[in-house]
């Protein structure tokens, strides 16, 4: 009997006409008042983005952008733990091993979505409550407003899995104050709570439990301008006293970060860290020594070049890099060590920075002709 009941439930689930409100859908797209609301709905996977989610969100943003009755777009995650912990790395790894075109389709789709967020004509509000990493940063950072909470954990941890801080990292990271972006990109350092605001990643800070009220107030705004939305976010932000007195976690290290991470090459950064010898420098050295040497070199160049590029140019460059990583060794080895076997001891090839030649790095940045990303 139970089986029959379960089967009936499954059939009923399939019969639900509206994908929008189907609670099993991986992404919920709904219109409330003047707001288009995107809800990432894979709580068990920490709302990691897969290709089908990307393919649903992209056209919806484009539709809302053209709709005179939609005044703003809100994006959030379900489950209380994560806004979005990244892209669906496992699926990409499996695809890459068998030469499946998901390794092209995923990055192409994801970067087009990042660009849609970055060029969105309607005010775009990301409620980055909980873990916000990698792909989750890509669907939030390029929008007008990013609201962090005491539960927010930000990181771009890609160098640890043989990748690089993509999704437009080459655009926003070098634009953070001083060399913070270089430091975050190379070490994968995590920022929490109010520090995400202080680093310039979030635009506002609100208690997690106030988000439903904030969302309600945003939805209730009558044909709001960007200024009106900003005013509402500011009023919530001003009332929030959580960790107000706390100093920015990187404050005491900023001078060191700015000098140590301003070097022109990875080898030079490592040399500066060794010469500095302070506990902070030694800790960064230890972290960097665990990362993929190839990833470190690609990342440093990505940020240095991205600093003077448009978002579109950066995404095109990053697409080239993504395809180079898919053809390489370190990405598969990094995912194995960190996410699959979890032994945390990847065997990088090449194993040392000195062995990653300039020629190899140059090749990763070369145009792909007809296969280049079109935005």
| pLDDT tens, position by position, 174-195 | 999 999 999 999 999 999 999 9
pLDDT exceeds 70 at position 22: no
pLDDT exceeds 70 at position 4: no
Residue 68's contacts (CB-CB under 8 Å, 6 or more residues apart) are none
Confidence of residue 20 (pLDDT cuts 50, 70, 90): very low
pLDDT computed for residue 14 by the predictor: 52
Quote the Cα angle for 236-233-182, to 5°: 110
pLDDT tens for 91-109 read 999 999 999 999 999 999 9
Chain mean position to CA 211 = 21
CB 150 within 8 Å of CB 197: no
CB 132 within 8 Å of CB 140: yes
CA atoms within 13 A on the CB side of 103: 20
Phi, psi at 101, each rounded to 5°: -75, 0
Task: Name all domains of the chain by residue range, CATH numbers in brackets.
Answer: 25-244+251-371 (3.90.226.10)
Confidence of residue 1 (pLDDT cuts 50, 70, 90): low
Q: Parallel, antiparallel, or unpaired: how do β-strands 153-155 and 191-192 relate?
A: antiparallel
Q: Token pair 């990088």 is at which residue?
A: 348
Confidence of residue 10 (pLDDT cuts 50, 70, 90): low
Confidence of residue 331 (pLDDT cuts 50, 70, 90): very high
Q: What is the percent of the chain with per-residue pLDDT over 90, rounded to a whole number?
A: 94
**Would you call 303 helix, strand, or coil by DSSP?**
helix
pLDDT exceeds 60 at position 12: no
Residue 242's contacts (CB-CB under 8 Å, 6 or more residues apart) are 150, 193, 194, 205, 207
CB 135 within 8 Å of CB 267: no
- List the helix and strand counts (H, then E) for the chain: 17, 10
pLDDT tens for 226-282 read 999 999 999 999 999 999 999 999 999 999 999 999 999 999 999 999 999 999 999
Spatial separation of the C-alpha atoms in residues 95 and 46, rounded to whole Å: 21
Spatial separation of the C-alpha atoms in residues 375 and 363, rounded to whole Å: 22
Catalytic residues, by residue number, are: 87, 135, 158, 166
CB 366 within 8 Å of CB 320: yes
Q: State the chain's mean pLDDT as an integer.
A: 95
CB 51 within 8 Å of CB 14: no
pLDDT exceeds 60 at position 30: yes
Spatial separation of the C-alpha atoms in residues 32 and 42, rounded to whole Å: 21
Q: What is the percent of the chain with per-residue pLDDT over 70, rounded to a whole number?
A: 94
Q: What is the largest CA-CA distance in the chain?
A: 72
**Would you call 23 helix, strand, or coil by DSSP?**
coil
Confidence of residue 3 (pLDDT cuts 50, 70, 90): low
pLDDT exceeds 90 at position 147: yes
pLDDT computed for residue 24 by the predictor: 83
Q: Tell which residue, 276, 293, 268, 280, has the closest CA to residue 347.
A: 293
CB 138 within 8 Å of CB 156: no
């Amino acid at each position: 009997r139970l089986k029959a009941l379960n089967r009936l439930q499954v059939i009923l689930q399939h019969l639900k006409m509206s994908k929008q409100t189907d609670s099993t859908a991986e992404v919920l797209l709904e219109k409330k008042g003047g707001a288009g609301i995107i809800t990432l709905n894979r709580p068990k996977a920490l709302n990691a983005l897969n290709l089908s989610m990307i393919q649903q969100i992209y056209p919806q943003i484009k539709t809302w952008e053209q709709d005179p009755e939609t005044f703003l777009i809100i994006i959030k995650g379900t489950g209380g733990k994560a806004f979005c912990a990244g892209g669906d790395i496992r699926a990409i790894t499996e695809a890459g091993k068998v030469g499946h075109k998901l390794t092209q389709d995923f990055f192409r789709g994801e970067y087009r979505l990042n660009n849609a967020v970055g060029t969105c004509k309607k005010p775009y509000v990301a409620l980055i409550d909980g873990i916000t990493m990698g792909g989750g940063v890509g669907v939030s950072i390029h929008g007008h407003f990013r609201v962090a909470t005491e539960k927010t954990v930000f990181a771009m941890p890609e160098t640890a899995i043989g990748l690089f801080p993509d999704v437009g990292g080459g655009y926003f990271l070098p634009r953070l104050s001083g060399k913070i972006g270089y430091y975050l990109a190379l070490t994968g350092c995590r920022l929490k709570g109010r520090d995400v605001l202080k680093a310039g990643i979030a635009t506002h800070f609100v208690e997690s439990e106030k988000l439903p009220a904030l969302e309600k107030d945003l939805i209730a705004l009558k044909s709001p301008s960007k200024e009106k939305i900003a005013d509402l976010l500011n009023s919530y932000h001003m009332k929030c006293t959580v960790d107000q007195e706390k100093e920015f976690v990187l404050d005491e290290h900023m001078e060191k970060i700015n000098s140590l991470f301003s070097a022109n090459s990875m080898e030079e950064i490592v040399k500066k860290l060794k010469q500095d010898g302070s506990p902070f420098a030694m800790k960064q050295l230890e972290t960097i020594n665990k990362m993929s040497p190839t990833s470190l070199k690609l990342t440093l160049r990505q940020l240095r070049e991205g600093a003077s590029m448009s978002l579109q140019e950066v995404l095109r460059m990053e697409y080239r890099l993504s395809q180079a990583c898919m053809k390489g060794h370190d990405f598969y080895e990094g995912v194995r060590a960190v996410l699959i076997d979890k032994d945390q001891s990847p065997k990088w090839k090449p194993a040392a920075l000195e062995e990653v030649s300039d020629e190899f790095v140059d090749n990763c940045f070369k145009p792909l002709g007809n296969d280049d990303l079109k935005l």
